[in-house]
């Protein structure tokens, strides 16, 4: 048994090393690679992905798993969970022919470059065929698995174990019934709080402040970096090397503040997974939805509170002088202004999930065959009009705005909405044990981070999202709290 | 034969891919990696280096080479040259017992860390034993090859084919006789031109100007990037992805300008190697000396001319207002001020090769057994006093200043001096065909780049430095022109 375990550890270590290299290449591609380098980088990513595929589907790994399963009762919890996850992954991958797997990896690496240019040039046509290919690959890969049930539910379940179209449909239905009317009411009041915070701040100053905020909320910059990219993201090489990006608009200093806090939330999660899980397959977030709950928690639940700003402004050495001229109430209202926007990543807390609903319905429609790729711009605009009451005039501000589909991330968007729901459910649980407002006002965010680390972060992938939510909050996903939270918070602000 | 060739190409492609990945990891390590990530990155680099070593010494590669050599007469020029270079590399490596090769790799990996701490703490004693080991390994590795002739000549020849101690001795002799007295004369005049250009410029402004200059001299930023690091360097992923770094000192804006131009020269070389050599072993500079000739050509030969500044200032959209207040003559004299310094990388054009002479004589002395490691600080200081008239007060500013020896780079320093000599010899040849001053004044640096591309860059490693110099200038390395150029230029400036 010991021999088998050490063989297993050897393979997992190799697998993690390949994943870390892939992460580094991806990081380079999105933050550094010049145009001319895309091709070679994509080839490298294809090569390494193939290696990872070969390793995961190798006879050797299957044999080691089989032999370990003989001792199942004696295995520790971590190894057992690793085997479970690995078997799921193998089942998912080994049905895909190697050459298709490699072709798909190269396609998605290449597609990001094509998407970038298409978005820049407002040219949907140049991206459409690639997008079609990506959707087709995804469809085909699911079909290879020969599973029961609806394709989109299978995809959703891959990102968020236990999730299904039925559950999401009912959540979005509630959202439509409760939030769309609330939004219409708010819009009719025509208030503009945010003008006050849209002053010009030089990029270099914003960068300084972003780094200070990261430290303030508890992200460790000795074990991570903050860089820049067109689309902010978080990427983990390993828990001691967690990389975030943000973006700076000189006229909108609060944009970088909130994308930094958001990615910081992801980063804090990654940095605080237990050391015992390092170099195992569990050194990862429980799910994308849980991951998103952490970023949303930092960004919205605490980051857009009065108490957070009170603490930050009194504790931070560095701040923009313009901020100091504002009252706490002015800041609070400005960072919580509801203003239906065209761009998801700039959306306020109230309308954010409505953006997700647009993408969710579109993905569902394409996968079911109801929608054609060529019609997406029109469908996009119709849905935006219906739910948010705004219509993009360009593709770049509409259907071309997100990087996800070009990366092959189909079925990923709902994670954002789930993250919102989870984050409020977690807030409710935390409130029972911690004086959150007090901690924020005193600038002691460590207390909050400790709680999250202990309840969520340290477990890594050891628990499913469902198990984790039951453990932390006493119940499974329950969207009611989120809807209630939104209604209460925004009625107060706008009444 | 075709089968053998395609097998060969397959192996070379794999080798190049590993090299490109190593380059990317190295790039990340020096520009992005947070402290926490050093360990994993180093492990990855170790892993890939081992893979590269195994590939180069594999049975398979030897067999393919043997089978290809049967058709030698029919092979194209590129493949023939690749085989020649590969065999040289194999001959060099395979005589070393595996365990010694590994021990040496570990030693040099470790030595860089020891050197860094030693330099920081001004502690030569802690570095001396490691340095001794490195020199001993190098001696032993050369002896394994059982070649005729002097050890240092063999080492030199590895870096610069055709080079020998005799040739370098006679060059440095000339330098000593001609430049050391000239330097003494200049020092006695005690002029300070450079104060005028040491005004403060914000980093972000310097960065903007650096990028503009790169474009101006012909570096293609679509196929390359400019980033930052403690020590500027150039690194090639492939010819379409060439990466440069510079460094910014707010009080010394011309420092970043010249390190950018220097690395830009290396970068232009790499970007303009012929497409036909891509993915071959010849997609590289002819030698380190020739590479250095290109960076020096841009940095000094043209970059420190009046005409360059005239063209740059009249063509560039962006410039520091402080520069515009200076006359061309003031700029010219300031960027050419002679000021013997302790640190090689900060040396001016006139004294630079004298710094190399110090290192050259020391390396020669250690390898011949004439010098003992423990006496290096004393010997270093004596030579500095004799050639440059300045004596370091600390080891850090003296014998501990360069990273090279700790990396095992013995015999590398002369490349820098050779680069200087080549650059002037190339200038002389170019002058016969191009009106360089005119091109510079009109800001048409394309003409100069085209000439270099055609005569030097495109050949990659297809020609030896000697062949290249004969082809381009009609004769082998001839230091007379360089000495003459220095004397003429600096007498004029200081008369």
b/e for B296-324, b at 16 or more Cβ within 10 A?
bbbbbbbbbbbbbbbbbeeeeeebbeebe
Instruction: Indicate the average pLDDT of chain B.
Output: 94
Query: Which one of A18, A22, A24 would you mutate to disrupt binding with B, by most B Cβ within 10 Å of its Cβ?
Result: A24
Mean pLDDT (whole number) for B276-293: 96
Residue B210 pLDDT level (bands cut at 50, 70, 90): very high
**DSSP summary character for residue B387:** H
More confident residue, B113 or A47: A47
Spatial neighbors of B128 by CB under 8 A, at least 6 apart, are B373, B374, B376
Backbone angles phi, psi at A97, to 5 degrees: -60, 140
Mean pLDDT (whole number) for B369-395: 97
Chain A residues with CB-CB distance to B under 8 A?
17, 20-21, 24-25, 27-28, 31-37, 39-41, 43-44, 47, 202-204, 220-225, 227, 237-238, 240-241, 243
Q: In chain A, what residues touch B202 (CB-CB under 8 Å)?
A: 204
The pLDDT tens digits of the residues spanning A317-362 come to: 767 888 888 999 999 999 999 999 999 988 999 999 999 999 999 9
Q: Where are the alpha helices (DSSP H) in A369-413?
A: 376-388
Distance from CA of A36 to the nearest CA of B (A): 4
- If one counts every other C-beta atom within 10 angstroms of the C-beta of residue B227, the result is 16
**How close are the terminal C-alpha atoms of chain A, in Å?**
66
pLDDT given for residue A140 in this prediction: 95
The pLDDT tens digits of the residues spanning A228-255 come to: 998 899 999 999 999 999 999 999 999 9
Give the three-state DSSP class for A237. Answer: strand
Distance from CA of B48 to the nearest CA of A (A): 11
Interface contact flag, B241 A40, Cβ < 8 Å:
yes
Query: Which one of B14, B40, B228 would you mutate to disrupt binding with A, by most A Cβ within 10 Å of its Cβ?
Result: B40
Angle between the A253-271 and A203-217 helix axes, to the nearest 10 degrees? 30
pLDDT given for residue A15 in this prediction: 93
Interface contact flag, A223 B36, Cβ < 8 Å:
yes
Q: Given B31, B37, B224, which is nearest A240 (Cβ)?
A: B37
| CB of B437 closer than 8 Å to CB of B307 | yes
Strand partners, B224: B242
Q: What would the two tokens of residue B111 be? A: 């030595």
Interface contact flag, B40 A28, Cβ < 8 Å:
no
Residue B192 pLDDT level (bands cut at 50, 70, 90): confident
The pTM (predicted TM-score) of the whole model is 0.89
Residue in A closest to B226 by C-alpha: A32
**DSSP summary character for residue B249:** -
Interface contact flag, A25 B24, Cβ < 8 Å:
yes
**How close are the terminal C-alpha atoms of chain B, in Å?**
66
Distance from CA of B322 to the nearest CA of A (A): 22
Distance from CA of A16 to the nearest CA of B (A): 11
Cβ-Cβ contacts under 8 Å between A and B: the total is: 100
- If one counts every other C-beta atom within 10 angstroms of the C-beta of residue B381, the result is 18
The pLDDT tens digits of the residues spanning B2-31 come to: 889 999 999 999 999 999 999 999 899 889
Interface contact flag, A36 B204, Cβ < 8 Å:
no
pLDDT given for residue A217 in this prediction: 97
Domain positions in chain B = 2-94, 147-495
Interface contact flag, B223 A35, Cβ < 8 Å:
yes
Residue B264 pLDDT level (bands cut at 50, 70, 90): very high
Q: What would the two tokens of residue B220 be? A: 């293609």
Interface contact flag, B47 A20, Cβ < 8 Å:
no
pLDDT given for residue B369 in this prediction: 94
Chain centroid to CA A460: how far? 16
pLDDT given for residue B322 in this prediction: 86
More confident residue, B191 or A217: A217
| CB of B312 closer than 8 Å to CB of B323 | no
The pLDDT tens digits of the residues spanning B315-355 come to: 887 678 888 889 999 999 999 999 999 999 889 999 999 99
| CB of B147 closer than 8 Å to CB of B154 | yes
Residue in A closest to B228 by C-alpha: A32
pLDDT given for residue A102 in this prediction: 87
Q: In chain A, what residues touch B241 (CB-CB under 8 Å)?
A: 33-34, 36-37, 40-41
| CB of A202 closer than 8 Å to CB of A250 | yes
pLDDT given for residue A112 in this prediction: 87
Query: Which one of A14, A21, A220, A272 would you mutate to disrupt binding with B, by most B Cβ within 10 Å of its Cβ?
Result: A21
Interface predicted TM-score (ipTM) of this complex, two decimals: 0.88
b/e for B12-37, b at 16 or more Cβ within 10 A?
beebbbbbbbbbbbbbbbbbbbbebb
Question: What class has domain A165-494?
Answer: mainly alpha
Query: Which one of B239, B241, B278 would you mutate to disrupt binding with A, by most A Cβ within 10 Å of its Cβ?
Result: B241
Chain B residues with CB-CB distance to A under 8 A?
17, 20-21, 24-25, 27-28, 31-37, 39-41, 43-44, 47, 202-204, 220-225, 227, 237-238, 240-241, 243
Residue A20 C-beta-side C-alpha neighbours within 13 Å: 30
Interface contact flag, B225 A27, Cβ < 8 Å:
no
Interface contact flag, B32 A36, Cβ < 8 Å:
no
Distance from CA of B18 to the nearest CA of A (A): 9
Q: What would the two tokens of residue A413 be? A: 């968007």
Helix (H) or strand (E) holding B165: helix B165-189
Asked if the model's pLDDT at residue B495 lies above 90, the reply is no
pLDDT given for residue B201 in this prediction: 93
Q: Longest C-alpha distance within chain A, in Å?
A: 70
Interface contact flag, B225 A21, Cβ < 8 Å:
no
More confident residue, B366 or B38: B366
Distance from CA of A71 to the nearest CA of B (A): 32
Backbone angles phi, psi at A366, to 5 degrees: -70, -45
Strands of the sheet containing A224-228, edge to edge, are A224-228, A241-246, A234-238
Residue A383 pLDDT level (bands cut at 50, 70, 90): very high
| CB of B228 closer than 8 Å to CB of B245 | yes
The pLDDT tens digits of the residues spanning B397-444 come to: 999 999 899 989 999 999 999 999 999 999 999 999 999 999 999 999
**For the ranges B161-165, B196-200, B264-268, the one whose mean pLDDT is highest:** B264-268
Residue B116 pLDDT level (bands cut at 50, 70, 90): confident
The pLDDT tens digits of the residues spanning A399-444 come to: 999 989 999 999 999 999 999 999 999 999 999 999 999 999 999 9
Helix (H) or strand (E) holding A183: helix A165-189
CA-to-CA distance for B379 and B361, rounded, in angstroms?
A: 10
Identify the CATH assignment for B147-495 out of 1.20.140.10, 3.40.640.10, 1.10.1370.30, 3.30.565.10: 1.10.1370.30
CA-to-CA distance for B315 and A468, rounded, in angstroms?
A: 63
Instruction: Indicate the average pLDDT of chain A.
Output: 94
């Amino acid at each position: 048994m010991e021999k088998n375990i050490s063989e297993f550890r050897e393979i997992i270590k190799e697998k993690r090393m390949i994943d870390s290299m892939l992460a580094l290449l991806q990081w380079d591609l999105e933050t550094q690679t010049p145009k001319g380098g895309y091709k070679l980088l994509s080839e490298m990513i294809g090569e390494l992905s193939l290696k990872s595929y070969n390793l995961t589907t190798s006879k050797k790994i299957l044999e080691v798993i089989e032999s370990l399963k003989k001792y199942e009762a004696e295995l520790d919890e971590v190894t057992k969970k690793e085997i479970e996850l690995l078997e799921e992954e193998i089942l998912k991958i080994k049905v895909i022919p190697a050459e298709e797997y490699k072709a798909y990896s190269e396609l998605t690496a290449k597609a990001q470059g094509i998407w970038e240019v298409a978005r820049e040039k407002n040219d949907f046509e140049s991206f459409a065929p690639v997008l079609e290919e990506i959707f087709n690959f995804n469809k085909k890969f699911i079909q290879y698995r020969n599973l029961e049930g609806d394709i989109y539910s299978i995809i959703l379940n891959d990102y968020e174990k236990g999730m299904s179209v039925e559950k999401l449909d009912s959540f979005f239905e509630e959202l439509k019934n409760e939030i769309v009317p609330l939004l219409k009411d708010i819009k009719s009041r025509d208030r503009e709080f945010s003008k006050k915070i849209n002053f010009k701040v030089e990029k270099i100053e914003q960068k300084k402040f972003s780094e200070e905020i990261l430290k303030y909320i508890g992200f460790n910059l000795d074990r991570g970096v903050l860089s820049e990219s067109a689309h902010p993201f978080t990427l983990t090489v390993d828990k001691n090397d967690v990389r975030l990006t943000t973006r700076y608009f000189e006229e909108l200093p609060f944009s970088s503040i909130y994308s930094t806090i958001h990615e910081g939330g992801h980063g804090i999660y990654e940095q605080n997974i237990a050391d015992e899980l390092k170099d195992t397959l569990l050194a990862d977030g429980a799910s994308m939805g849980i991951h998103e709950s952490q970023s949303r928690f930092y960004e919205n639940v605490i980051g857009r509170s009065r108490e957070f700003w009170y603490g930050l402004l009194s504790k931070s050495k560095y701040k923009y002088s313009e901020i100091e001229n504002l009252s706490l109430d002015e800041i609070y209202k400005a960072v919580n202004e509801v203003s239906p926007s065209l761009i998801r990543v700039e959306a306020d807390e109230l309308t954010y999930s409505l953006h997700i609903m647009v993408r969710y319905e579109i993905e569902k429609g394409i996968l079911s065959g109801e929608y054609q790729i060529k019609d997406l711009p029109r469908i996009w605009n119709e849905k935006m009009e219906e739910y948010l009451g705004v219509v993009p005039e360009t593709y770049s501000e509409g259907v071309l705005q997100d990087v996800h589909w070009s990366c092959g991330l189909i079925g990923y968007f709902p994670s954002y909405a789930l993250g919102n729901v989870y984050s409020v459910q977690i807030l409710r649980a935390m409130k029972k044990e911690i004086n959150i407002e007090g901690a924020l006002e005193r600038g002691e965010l460590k207390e909050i981070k400790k709680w999250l680390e202990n309840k969520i972060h340290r477990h890594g992938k050891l628990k499913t999202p469902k198990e984790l939510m039951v453990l932390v909050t006493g119940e499974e996903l329950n969207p009611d709290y989120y809807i209630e939270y939104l209604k209460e918070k925004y009625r107060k602000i706008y009444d």
